[in-house]
Structure 1
C-alpha cells in the first residue's frame, strides 16, 4: 500500500557543523508544546492523503459501473485514474521537497491542499471518464504530494527526543483513515452517489487548509543562490544557477553504490504487481461473492498493515535481525499471497489472504528508511529515499491498469492476480545480490564534516 512511511527514517543524533557557526546549527527542537498540535495536524494530512489513495478500489467499482456502457476496455481505462493519481503523488514528492525549500513549508502545503480541493471538487462535476485523469489523477496527485512532503519535514522542526513516537503517531494516521473510509465510502456511494462522495472527500482536503497553517517553521534556510528563486530574471541566468545548484546538491554518488542500486531496482520491480490487489480486490470479490462486502478486504489490509509497522519496526531495531532479509521475506510472502487469491473458494479465504498481505505491507514500508540508512549512510539517505519514490511512481502507475486490461479480455481476475504475484517474488530474489552491509542503529551519530 502506498503510504507515508516511505520517508520515515531512523532517528539520528546530528552534531553541529564545525565549518561555520550559526543560529540554525545551534537550534534545538522544543520536543513538545505547540509541536503536539503540529503532530495532530500532520496526522490528519497524512491520513487524508493516503486514506483516499488506498481506498480508490472502492471508488473504482462505482466509476466502472457509471462509465461502462459498451466499452470492452472499461476496466483498463478506469484503473488508470487511480494509478495516475498514485504515480503523480510519489513522483512529485521529489519536486515538492525542493519547492518547500524555496517557498516555505506552509506555503507549499497550502498550495497542495488547494490543488487537492480543486481536483476533487472538479471530479464531482466531470461527465467524461478521460477528464478524471486530469482532475483526480494529475491535479489531486500533485496536491497530495505538495501537502504530504512538508508534513514530514515540519516534524523535525518541533521534535528530536520524541521523534520516533511522533513518526509512529503521524504515519499510523493513514491506517486509521483507510479503515474509516473503507467503512464510510460504501455508505456514501449508496446514499448520495459518486458526485457527493467526491465532494465529501473534497471536504477532507478543505480541512487541510487550517491544519497546514499551524505549521510554523522554526528553521529557516538561507539560499546561496538567490537568483534561482522565483523571480523575473532571465531564463539564461536561471539555467546557469540551476546547473550550479544541481551540481552542488544532487547526490549522484549513491548511484555508484551497488547495494543501493540493486535494492532500489528490486523494490521498483516488486511494485509492478504490488498495488494490484488494493485496486481490484473489491471488484474481484463482487464478481465471485456478490453477497459479501468486499470493502472489508481493504479494511483488513489496513489493520494488519498498521500492526505490522509497529511490530516489525521494533524487530528491525534488534541487532540480530537483518533488515534486508526481513523486507525480502515480506516481498516473497506478499507475492505468494497474491498468487493464492484466485484459489480462495470463499470470502473468508480472501480475508485470510488480505491479513497476511497487510502484515507484509507494513513490514515492507517500515523498513524503507532504515535500509536506506544502512546502504548509503545518513548523509545520502534523504536523496536515496527521494529517488526511490520516483522509481516507485512508475510500477505503481502501470500495474493496476494492466490487471484491468487482462480482466477486460479474459472476464476474470485469475490471470491478473497470478501475474501480479510474480514481480514481488522476482524482486525478492534480486535482493539476494545486495552486498552485506553493516546496519545502523537508531542512536548512531554522524558528522557533516568532509
Structure 2
C-alpha cells in the first residue's frame, strides 16, 4: 500500500492540520489576555468579548463548512481554513488596538471551522467502526494542542515579546499545518463510499426535531461554562496572587484534560451511552465550579480546572458521533454546524462576555460567576438525557421530504 494511501498516515496529517487552529483558539487568548489588557488599556469585560468574537466566527462558518463539503473536495476547504488561521495570527501580531484583536478573533474562529468540520466528516467515513475513538483523537489534538502550546506561547511572550510570539506561531502553523492539507483525502479504494453525500434533512426539518433543540441548548449552556475558563484563568489566577508563570498551570491543567478527556470519552462513547457519559462529566464540572472560588492553593484550583476541561472536551467529542447516530452521517456536517451555532453565537455571550460584565460590576466576585456556570452544567446534565438516538421507540430518523416539501416522519421501533 502506498504511504499516502495509508489511513493512519492520513489521520496523522489530519491531526497536524487541526493542531494549530486549536492552539490559536484555546491557548493563544488565555496566554495573551493579560498582555492585551496592558497594551490596549482595556477592562475584563472587553477581554471577555474576545472569546465571543471567536465563537461568533466559528458559529457563522460551521454550517457553511458542512454545506461546502457537498460541492468542494474537503482538502481544499481544509487548506483554505488552515492558511487563513495562520495569516490571521500574523496579523494580530501587528495589532495596535483591541478592535484589531477582535477582528483576529472572528477570522480565527471562522476559518477554524473550515478545518474542523471536514476533518471530522472525512475520518468518521474512513473509520466507520470507531467513530468515537477517531473523533476523540482529532479532538484530543484540537483541544490538547493548547496544553502543548500555551507554555510555549508564555515562554516566548516573556522572553521575546508579543509581536515575535504571534509571528512565530503563524509561520509555524503554515510550515507544519497548512502544508499537509492537500494530503488529507480518502484513500483510492474507499473513494466511492467516502465521496460527497447529499444530505437528506433540510434546515426546516432539522430544527423541527426535539433532539436537535435539546442538543442546541446543551451546547449553549455547557459550551458557555467551559469556554469561559480559558479567558478567566488568568484573571482568577492574578486575583489569587499568582504571576503569569504560575497561573498558566490552571489553563494548562484545563487543556490537558480537555485533550485527554476527548480521547477517553470518545473511546467510551463507542461502547456506552453517550448521554450518560455527558451527564456524568457535566455533573463533575458543576461540582468543580462550585468549589473553585473557595480555594486559593494553585495546585488545588488547577486540579478542579481538570474536571471543567474534561467536560468541555467530552462535549466536543461525544456530541459529534451522537449527531451522526441521531441524524445520519450524510447530515453530519450541516446538522453539527447548526448545533454549533449555539456555541458560536450564544455561548460566547452567556460565558466570557457576561462573566466579564459581572466581574466588573461586582469587583471581581468569582463566587457569583462560577456559581452561574455550575448551574449551566447542572441544567445541561438534565437536558442531555432527553436526547434520543436511533433505535429508541418512536424515534424520528433522517428522511427526505415529499414532493410538496413536507417533512416525512419515519418511525423506527426498537
Supply the distance in 2 between the matched residues of 1:328 and 1:223 (Cα, whole angstroms): 33
In structure 1, C-alpha distance between the alignment counterparts of 2:208 and 2:160, rounded to whole Å: 54
| 1:203-352 alignment, distance < 5 Å | 203-207=171-175, 208-216=177-185, 219=191, 250=202, 252-291=204-243, 293-318=246-271, 321-352=272-303
Whole-angstrom distance in 2 between the partners of 1:300 and 1:324: 25
- Counterpart of 1:38 in structure 2 is 10
Of 355, 364, 379 in structure 2, the residue corresponding to residue 403 of structure 1 is 355
Alpha-carbon displacement from aligned partner over 1:226-259 (angstroms, at most 9, x marks no partner): xxxxxxxxxxxxxxxxxxx99x762533333323
Partner of 1:418, secondary structure, is helix
Moved more, 79-88 or 157-166: 157-166
Partner of 1:14: none
Offset at residue 324 of structure 1 (A): 1.5
- Partners of 1:385 and 1:355 lie apart in 2 by 26
Q: Secondary structure at the match of 2:212?
A: helix
Shift of 1:288: 0.8
Q: How many residues align?
A: 388
1: CA distance, partners of 2:356 / 2:91: 25
TM-score for both structures, normalised by structure 1:
0.75
Give TM-score scaled by structure 2 length. Answer: 0.81
More helix by share: 2
- Whether the 8 Å contact between 1:301 and 1:354 is mirrored in structure 2 is yes
Specify the alignment match of 2:37 in structure 1: 64
How does 1:372-391 map onto structure 2 within 5 Å? 372-377=323-328, 380-391=331-342
1:189 Cα deviation from its structure 2 partner: 0.9
Give how far 1:278 is off. Answer: 1.7
Q: Which residue of 1 aligns with 2:21?
A: 49
Deviation at 1:120, TM superposition (A): 1.4
Aligned to 2:404: none
Deviation (angstroms), 1:122: 1.6
Note the aligned Cα RMSD (angstroms). 3.4
| Greater C-alpha radius of gyration | 1
Contact 2:62–2:338 (Cα < 8 Å) also in 1:
no
CA distance in 2, matches of 1:388, 1:447: 18
User: Cα 1:273–1:312, aligned 2, differ >3 Å: closer, same or farther?
Assistant: closer
CA offsets 1:42-78 (integer angstroms, 9 cap, x no match): 111211111221112111121112112xx5xx21112
Give 1:365 deviation, angstroms: 3.0
- Cross-structure match for 1:358: 309
SS at match of 2:225: coil
Stretches of structure 2 that go unaligned for 5 or more consecutive residues are: 401-409
Task: Report the counterpart of residue 421 of structure 1 in structure 2.
Answer: 374
Task: Provide structure 1 residue ranges, at least 5 long, that are not aligned to the other structure.
Answer: 1-28, 225-244, 441-445
Distance, in Å, in 2 between the alignment partners of 1:326 and 1:249 is 27
Q: Secondary structure at the match of 2:224?
A: coil
Q: 1:336 Cα shift?
A: 2.6
8 Å Cα contact 1:106-1:213 kept in structure 2: yes
Residues 90 and 211 (structure 1), Cα distance of their counterparts in 2 relative to 1, 3 Å cut = farther
Structure 2 counterpart of 1:85, from 36, 51, 54: 54
- Name the CA shift for 1:395/1:333 in 2 (closer, same or farther; >3 Å): farther
Report the more deviating stretch, 92-101 or 194-203. Answer: 92-101
Deviations along 1:254-309, one digit per CA (max 9) or x if unpaired, are: 33332332233233233332311121112211221325711111221222233333
In structure 2, the partner of 1:106 is 75
Of 95, 120, 125, the match for 2:64? 95
Taking the TM superposition and a 5 Å limit, the aligned residue runs for 1:149-168 are 149-155=117-123, 166-168=134-136
Q: CA deviation at 1:163?
A: 6.3
